[in-house]
């Protein structure tokens, strides 16, 4: 039996295989509201053969958007816009759907990637950004506002409110985004966190606010539904956040009942020097899994079925997240199953699709 296509359970959620469609920002929301694009995009990916479909990073407040086009879940309008999208996905697929909750911190108020991705000044329609310290992401950018006690409380409450709305929408799980240089990662990394209060300095202090957010979300999200965290396991810059600190953070999350660690890296500084290559972030997922026993998701240039199979079969991670690969090949899961001699679910309208040599690809009972 293929390890990649073996089932697994996360609390009350049964997952048919270990393939995850990674949360991928689309930058086409309308003031945070989902559009027809999201229905088409997510509906297609729900038929990819993956075990879990992650919705893109979803801002918990307007100031937490990376760009004007970020998806949001902060009021009745943004919740209402997602409702028909999810209903449409549910109508065509049984794939579990998980939402990633996020706040962009000092990396907010930016142009969309195809317009350069650089910061938008207030004078050109940008908005105030927030961070642990008044240190900009890039030299020359307007510094963010350092969060005070009321600001920290506001953002904790925004994560909680979004988690409650996610439950109203019937999401199968949540992931708290603490990676890629966004707000919670900014608290973790000494590169961006220069505070001298109880939220800065020592590792214990830098972990405090991300752990508070996790605890607050876990407290309001149903106990039978899983909650994971995405981390950047390394800043790829001297003196930054690293795998040792990430393991310490994961241990604290384990004590609080985290269900997985989604293991990425980088994003805190343009000075990062990344040694990228096929599967280059897998050792981070493996190290966290070995040190903590937690389920981990491996990400980053995992593009081939047998590569993914080796990672799962070798015990290096529990899930494989595919991002650009599944955009390029929206049936990545089908093709991986065919190559590995496994089966996947598909709607009856597609049962005649596989070529003869893979006639038994779909589970039809």
Domain ranges in the chain are 8-358
By DSSP bridging, strand 97-102 and strand 173-178 are: parallel
CA nearest to 358, candidates 311, 305, 318, 309: 305
> In angstroms, rounded to a whole number, what is the distance separating the alpha carbons of residues 333 and 82?
25
What integer pLDDT is reported at residue 195 of this predicted model?
A: 98
Looking at the annotation, which residues are catalytic? Answer: 182
To the nearest 10 degrees (0 to 180), the angle between helices 149-168 and 203-220 is: 30
Secondary element (H or E) of residue 59:
strand 52-59
Tens-of-pLDDT digits for all 365 residues of the chain? 899 999 999 999 999 999 999 999 999 999 999 999 999 999 999 999 999 999 999 999 999 999 999 999 999 999 999 999 999 999 999 999 999 999 999 999 999 999 999 999 999 999 999 999 999 999 889 999 999 999 999 999 999 999 999 999 999 999 999 999 999 999 999 999 999 999 999 999 999 999 999 999 999 999 999 999 999 999 999 999 999 999 999 999 999 999 999 999 999 999 999 988 999 999 999 999 999 999 999 999 999 999 999 999 999 999 999 999 999 999 999 999 999 999 999 999 999 999 999 999 998 75
What integer pLDDT is reported at residue 365 of this predicted model?
A: 57
CA nearest to 336, candidates 322, 348, 349, 324: 322
Q: What is the CATH number of domain 8-358?
A: 3.20.20.70
> In angstroms, rounded to a whole number, what is the distance separating the alpha carbons of residues 284 and 282?
5
What integer pLDDT is reported at residue 363 of this predicted model?
A: 84
The DSSP annotation for 345-356 comes to ---GGGTT-S-G
Secondary element (H or E) of residue 68:
none
Q: Could you tell me if 107 and 66 are in contact, meaning their C-beta atoms sit under 8 angstroms apart?
A: yes
The DSSP annotation for 141-206 comes to SPPPEEP-HHHHHHHHHHHHHHHHHHHHTT-SEEEEEE-TTSHHHHHH-TTT----STTSSSHHHH
Give this prediction's pTM.
0.97
CA nearest to 271, candidates 322, 222, 236: 236
End-to-end CA distance of the chain: give it in Å, rounded.
19
């Amino acid at each position: 039996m293929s390890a990649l296509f073996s089932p697994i359970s996360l609390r009350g959620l049964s997952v048919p295989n270990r393939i995850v469609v990674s949360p991928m920002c689309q930058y086409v929301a309308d003031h945070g509201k989902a559009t027809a694009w999201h229905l088409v995009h997510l509906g297609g990916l729900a038929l990819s053969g993956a075990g879990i479909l992650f919705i893109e990073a979803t801002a918990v407040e307007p100031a937490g958007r990376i760009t004007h086009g970020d998806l949001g879940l902060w009021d009745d309008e943004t919740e209402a816009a997602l409702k028909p999208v999810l209903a449409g996905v549910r109508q065509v697929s049984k794939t579990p759907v998980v939402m990633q909750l996020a706040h962009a911190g000092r990396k907010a108020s930016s142009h969309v990637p195809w317009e350069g991705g650089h910061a938008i000044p207030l004078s050109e329609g940008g908005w105030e950004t927030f961070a642990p310290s008044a240190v900009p992401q890039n030299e020359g950018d307007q510094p963010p506002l350092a969060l005070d006690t009321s600001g920290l409380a506001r953002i904790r409450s925004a994560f909680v409110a979004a988690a409650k709305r996610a439950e109203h929408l019937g999401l199968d799980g949540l992931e708290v985004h603490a990676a890629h240089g966004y707000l919670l990662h900014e608290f973790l990394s000494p590169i961006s966190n220069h505070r001298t209060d109880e939220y800065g300095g020592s590792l214990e202090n830098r972990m405090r606010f991300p752990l508070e957010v996790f605890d607050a979300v876990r407290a309001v999200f149903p106990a039978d539904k899983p909650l994971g965290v995405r981390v950047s396991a390394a800043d790829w810059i001297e003196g930054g956040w690293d795998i040792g600190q990430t393991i310490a953070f994961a241990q604290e999350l384990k004590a609080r009942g985290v269900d997985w660690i989604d293991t990425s890296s980088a994003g805190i500084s343009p000075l990062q020097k990344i040694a990228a290559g096929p599967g280059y972030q897998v050792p981070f997922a493996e190290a966290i899994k070995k040190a903590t026993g937690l389920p981990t998701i491996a990400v980053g240039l995992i593009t081939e079925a047998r590569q993914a199979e080796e990672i799962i079969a070798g015990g290096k991670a529990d899930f494989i997240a595919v991002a650009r690969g599944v955009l390029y090949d929206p049936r990545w899961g089908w093709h991986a199953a065919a190559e590995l001699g496994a089966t996947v679910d598909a709607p009856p309208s597609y049962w005649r699709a596989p070529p003869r040599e893979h006639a038994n690809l779909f589970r039809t009972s």
